[in-house]
Amino acid sequence: MSIKTLGIDLGKTSMHVVGLDADGKPVHRKKLTRTALIRYLSNLAPCRVAMEPCAGSHDIARKADAMGHDAVLLPAQFVRPYTKGQKNDNSDAEAIAEAATRPCRRCRSRMPPNRKSSSCTELGKDGSSSARKRPTGSGPCCWSSASSCPNGS
């Protein structure tokens, strides 16, 4: 059993993994937690690891790259045509793996680990960053100079 492509359907607590051989036939199906997935990837021979981009996929892709795998993030619009039958986690993982084997696809780039959100984060008096707790113009501004700050603070 030699896995050439691994499709991962990510969830909050469990990840469904489907491994395809060189012919594109599913040879392995497994349900794993996040820590078990990292352990599983470390014991697996280098292969292409594909998943849909979401909040946790960038971190898993970086870890898979560090282990020698070829991690790719495929947008859902390129995975959807390969789903078969009912929509469930196993069929989604198989569709992700099959979409990764196709030559005509566009992958998303991974975010570096130190990248923050592109929006400004304003901190309130209590140190929280929730926008619901204060009026729009309150709190310090995150812009580099006070002259370019839109709220004048």
- Provide the domain count of the chain: 2
Are 149 and 91 found together in one domain? no
Question: Is 139 in the same domain as 88?
Answer: no
In a domain, 40, yes or no: yes
Q: What is the pLDDT of residues 27-52, one digit of tens each?
A: 999 999 999 999 999 999 999 999 99
In the sheet with 14-20, reading across from the earlier edge strand, the strands are 26-33, 14-20, 5-9, 48-51, 70-73
Q: Which residues are within 8 A (CB) of 144 and not within 5 positions of it... i.e. 6 or more apart? A: none
Q: If you ran DSSP here, which 8-state letter would residue 22 be given?
A: T
Residues 97 and 120 in one domain: no
> Tens-of-pLDDT digits for all 153 residues of the chain?
689 999 999 998 999 999 999 998 999 999 999 999 999 999 999 999 999 998 889 999 999 999 999 999 998 888 888 888 888 888 999 999 999 998 766 666 566 666 644 444 555 555 555 555 545 554 444 444 444 444 444
Integer Rg of the chain from CA? 20
Identify whether residues 58 and 15 lie together within a single domain: yes
Reported pTM = 0.69
What is the sign, positive or negative, of the torsion defined by CA atoms of 109, 115, 118, 119? positive
Shared domain for 132 and 89, answered yes or no, is no
Contacts 24+ apart (CB under 8 A), 143-149: none
CATH code, domain carrying 19: 3.30.420.10
